[in-house]
Amino acid sequence: MAEEKINHILVPKHEVCTEEEVKEILSKYNIKKDQLPRMSHKDVTIVSLDLASGTVVKIFRSNKTEPNSIFYRVVV
């Protein structure tokens, strides 16, 4: 069941960031990793990916006024 959650139509696309991407994000916003929004490694959407703490996840979520919204979360 859990593996299917990430492919569910209502779950926005989650993608694991590469090291370079993470570096870029952190320097773009001038922050440390712990200042990113967090998500639990047990979160149903990513539990099947079995991500390590500290992984940054890129989330493509769109809404009425902004179809290309991008969000980042760090796994805790």
Q: Which of residues 25-64 bind other proteins (CB under 8 A)?
A: 29, 31, 34-37, 61, 63-64
CA angle centred on 45, ends 16 and 3, rounded to 5°: 95
Which of 44/70 has CB closer to other proteins?
70
| Helix H or strand E segment including 58 | strand 56-60
CB of 63 to other proteins, least distance (A): 6
Binding to other proteins by residue 10, rule CB under 8 A?
A: no
Residue tagged 């001038």 (tokens) = 30
Runs of H (alpha helix) within the chain = 2-5, 19-29
Binding-site ranges for other proteins (CB under 8 A): 29, 31, 34-37, 61, 63-66, 69-72
